Amino acid sequence: MKGKFITLEGPEGSGKTTVSKELVKILNESGYKVLLTREPGGVDIAEQIRNVILDKKNTKMDARTEALLYAARRQHLVEKVLPALKEGYIVLCDRFVDSSLAYQGVARNLGIDEVYNMNLFAINDVMPDKTLFFDIDYKKGLERIKVNQRETNRLDLEKSDFHKNVYEGYLTICKQYSDRIVKINADQKVEDVVQDALKEIKKILWSKII
Ligand code: TMP
């Protein structure tokens, strides 16, 4: 695989979407080919699945919904991520398997290892070269969503306990995969978060242009 697969993770309102757009601009200016994509979604069928999963009327995350989520992951990986990596792109993916470990594994209580095992068919040994965890207290993240009036989805509307568990789940995963996941302080100005993220990305890039 010639490219680099970098995933961005964090609780709601952690700013990964905003920061990822800035990262694309800077990396592009430095001559890198970058593909910015997201999960659930990224390709047509997976975006349709995203709409079903995040629909506010769909109140339960049952086994069927979970299966759809992982099927969407497989499709996105095969159709978009792997071809881009083969062509030497830096692929920045807003959420990937760690979201499942934190949201389904911990917050929904399905178990980190169990969810990882369920994902094996979807990821087929493809794991990120680096994962940036956007670390912000879950309450501050939820506050940011309110202030920015970002459109809420079904999961945003979960009780505060759920978001607390997501956050704690992420902290557990950070420890479990400490060689791959790096924490970025997301509770600072966007420019500073971008710079911290870039520092980490630079460590795994081939040249030192940026
Ligand atoms: P976002 O893209 O706006 O962050 O919203 C995606 C939502 O989907 C977010 O609440 C996390 C949730 N999600 C899971 O529960 N499991 C997953 O595996 C992924 C990728 C996302």
pLDDT in tens, the chain (210 residues): 699 999 999 999 999 999 999 999 999 999 999 999 999 999 999 999 999 888 877 766 788 889 999 999 999 999 999 999 999 999 999 999 999 999 999 999 999 999 999 999 999 999 999 999 999 999 999 999 888 867 777 676 777 899 999 999 999 999 999 999 999 999 999 999 999 999 999 999 976 555
Separation of CA 209 and ligand 1 centre (Å): 33
pTM given for the model: 0.94
In 3D space, the residue among 126, 139, 127, 132 whose CA is nearest the CA of residue 166 turns out to be 139
* pLDDT number for residue 112: 97
Report the pocket of ligand 1 as residue ranges, CB < 6 Å.
12, 38-40, 54, 69, 95, 99-100, 103-104, 153, 155
* pLDDT number for residue 153: 75
* pLDDT number for residue 209: 55
* pLDDT number for residue 146: 85
Nearest CA to ligand 1 atom 4: 12
* pLDDT number for residue 208: 57
* pLDDT number for residue 5: 98
In 3D space, the residue among 128, 134, 119, 130 whose CA is nearest the CA of residue 190 turns out to be 134
Separation of CA 206 and ligand 1 centre (Å): 31
For a pocket test of ligand 1, which of 54, 96, 103, 138 has the largest count of ligand atoms closer than 8 A to its C-beta? Answer: 103
35 in helix, strand or coil?
strand
DSSP string, 157-190: TS-HHHHHHHHHHHHHHHHHTTTTEEEEE-SS-H
Separation of CA 32 and ligand 1 centre (Å): 27
In 3D space, the residue among 181, 128, 131 whose CA is nearest the CA of residue 3 turns out to be 128
